Amino acid sequence: MKKTIRLVFYFLVLGFIILQFFQPDKNLGDINLRDDLFQVATIDDSVKTLLENSCYDCHSNHTKYPWYSYISPVSLFLNNHIVEGKAELNFSDWGTYSKIDKISHLDDICDAVSEGEMPPGSYLILHKDASLSEKNIKKICDWAETEGTRLLKDEE
């Protein structure tokens, strides 16, 4: 019996070690390239900081990885989140979005942070500083509305 337990334990350790060789590609592109929101939109520094702290890990081409994110299966789980987040909205590609999509995203951004859907709870467990206060939510919404209205009136 003791032998079996030991065998299972070795097996699990081996599995864990092998799993480390399977790492997803890291999301470590440059930010502040031509099409990034920060380059294209009218946005002040305080809102930039909020978005960078609370949104950019999953909604841009550059994630700030914590140390544990280099360990499988955490890395695989995180990668999944990032791929999904970027598919929905990628601030690094902001400049490539149509005006309609920009206005639409801006409206959704305010809705998502106001309803507490974003940042998601699973992200906040390990990123407590990404949590948005009422004041900061209002800041994001005010900016989103101003930027949306600016785009609407902007003649291109």
CB of 108 to another protein, least distance (A): 6
User: In the range 106-125, which residues lie near another protein by CB under 8 A?
Assistant: 106-108, 111, 115
Radius of gyration of the chain (CA): 20
CB of 143 to another protein, least distance (A): 13
**Dihedral sign for Cα atoms in the order 115, 120, 126, 127:** negative
Q: Cβ closer to another protein: 74 or 142? A: 142
Residue 148 touching another protein (CB under 8 A): yes
Residue 59 burial (CB count, 10 A): 25
DSSP designation for 139: H
Specify which residues 62 forms β-bridges with: 28
* Residue 104 CB partners (closer than 8 Å, separation 6+): none
Which position among 104, 122, 126, 142 is part of the footprint of another protein (CB under 8 A)?
104
Q: Applying CB under 8 A, which part among 20-28, 29-37, 70-78, 142-150 lies near another protein?
A: 142-150
**Closest C-alpha to 59, from 33, 92, 30:** 92
CB of 42 to another protein, least distance (A): 14
Residue 88 touching another protein (CB under 8 A): no
Which position among 101, 122, 126, 142 is part of the footprint of another protein (CB under 8 A)?
101
Q: Applying CB under 8 A, which part among 7-15, 19-27, 74-82, 97-105 lies near another protein?
A: 97-105
CA gap 32, 61 in Å, rounded: 10
Q: Cβ closer to another protein: 52 or 107? A: 107
CA gap 136, 46 in Å, rounded: 9
